[in-house]
Amino acid sequence: MVHFTSVKDAGSLDKAVEEAFWIKKNRFADSDLGKNRTALLIFFNSSLRTRLSTQKAAENLGMKVIVLDVQQGAWNLETRKGVIMDGDKPEHLLEAIPVMGCYADIIGVRSFARFENKEDDYQEVILNQFIRYAGKPVISLEAATRHPLQSFADHITIEEFKTREKPRIVLTWAPHPRALPQAVPNSFAEWMIAAGYHVTITHPKGYELDEPFTRGAEIVYDQKEAFRGADFIYAKNWAAFRDPVYGKILNTDRSWMVDNNKMRLTDNAFFMHCLPVRRNMIVSDEVLDGPRSLVIPQAANREIAAQVVIKRILNEISKTERP
Ligand code: SN0
């Protein structure tokens, strides 16, 4: 594995989960693997879990970690190509990326969809510039269209809690006051389908996701119908994908919130969310604080997912460096 940006970079998912379970029990078994190596984590957007869990995972493997929050203290970075830089952005990504590559063995990047230009977002312009110009392995810490470390952690969590071979997973849209990216639902759907689970997606009309991510899932517009028989409910808000309303909020229908009444329609399902979650918008307190909520185990598995990915990359680096 050279870069990690989607489920495709995980290879066999059975093996990835098996490796995750092993690492969970043997977190410090490879604490020399990353000796004298540096992970640079770059954030264009806020973070709590991703920042902490990725740093922790890299440190478990003996790496040194530098975190750069672009909003706080770094030069404001120009990302558009071919512009005259007479505005408020003193440095271009085209120099910043190879410079960062000089100081790091692995680069993690968080860069959300900007909702300014759908093509730029869906072509992953920023992430791909890192891949092209850093000269080092790149890990997506949530890019414009995917959040693969989250989906991997979600997969590990489902494997820990499932009671049948192929559980019924329901991804439900839920209301939110702001327009949020499609990265988490895209990536979750894509990963769960690749894992071979039975996947249903429910959302109000108009919130259809980009089809390549959801191919293989059943789309049900009636949320209650979708919840029947579910083993896992995964809630998430996202803004519209389709033109001409890309990145817009179409509907804030509060009746889509996940509450105990809806959870009763399921097969005693677990509740999942990637966090941060807006209480009593996305999900009621009673569900989030209830016995079937998995949001904390999911977050705990972020460290494990990141450690599997970083370990594989470190192994790859040592292989290629060997004479
Ligand atoms: C991000 C998202 O992609 O939806 C990160 C999720 C891991 N979430 C937010 O930006 C939430 C912001 C808010 O105002 O609640």
Number of domain units in the chain: 2
Please write the tens of the pLDDT for every residue from 56-72: 999 999 999 999 999 88
Q: Is the CB of 184 under 6 A from ligand 1?
A: yes
In the chain, the amino acid numbered 239 is A
- pTM as predicted: 0.97
The pLDDT of residue 251: 85
Query: What is the torsional sign of CA 17, 18, 21, 22?
Result: negative
Q: Is the CB of 274 under 6 A from ligand 1?
A: yes
Residue owning the nearest CA to atom 3 of ligand 1: 181
Rounded Cα gap, residues 6 and 76, in angstroms = 28
Is there a single domain that holds both residue 266 and residue 136?
no
- 161 in a domain, yes or no? yes
Is there a single domain that holds both residue 121 and residue 165?
no
Question: Cis bond leading into 276, ω under 30°?
Answer: yes
- 29 in a domain, yes or no? yes
Q: Is the CB of 183 under 6 A from ligand 1?
A: yes
Please report, in angstroms and rounded to a whole number, the separation of the first and last CA atoms in the chain.
Answer: 19
> Cα of 32 to ligand 1 centre, how many Å?
35
Ligand 1 atom at shortest distance from the alpha carbon of 181? 3
Question: Cis bond leading into 90, ω under 30°?
Answer: no
The pLDDT of residue 175: 97
Is there a single domain that holds both residue 12 and residue 81?
yes
- 208 in a domain, yes or no? yes
Which domain, by its residues, includes 211?
Answer: 149-298
Contact call for residues 38 and 64 (beta carbons, < 8 A): yes
Rounded Cα gap, residues 141 and 54, in angstroms = 9
Ligand 1 atom at shortest distance from the alpha carbon of 180? 4
Regions of the chain where pLDDT drops below 70: 1, 322-323
Rounded Cα gap, residues 281 and 77, in angstroms = 34
Which residue of 180, 184, 273 sits with most ligand 1 atoms within 8 Å of its CB, as the best mutation to test the pocket?
A: 180
Is there a single domain that holds both residue 37 and residue 120?
yes
Is there a single domain that holds both residue 277 and residue 294?
yes
- Of the candidates 83, 139, 89, the one whose C-alpha atom is nearest the C-alpha of residue 111 is 139
The pLDDT of residue 320: 86
> Cα of 189 to ligand 1 centre, how many Å?
17
Is there a single domain that holds both residue 131 and residue 33?
yes
The pLDDT of residue 90: 95
Please write the tens of the pLDDT for every residue from 6-60: 999 999 999 999 999 999 999 999 999 999 999 999 999 999 999 999 999 999 9
Contact call for residues 232 and 195 (beta carbons, < 8 A): no
Rounded Cα gap, residues 221 and 208, in angstroms = 10
Crossing angle of helices 183-194 and 148-161, rounded to 10°: 50
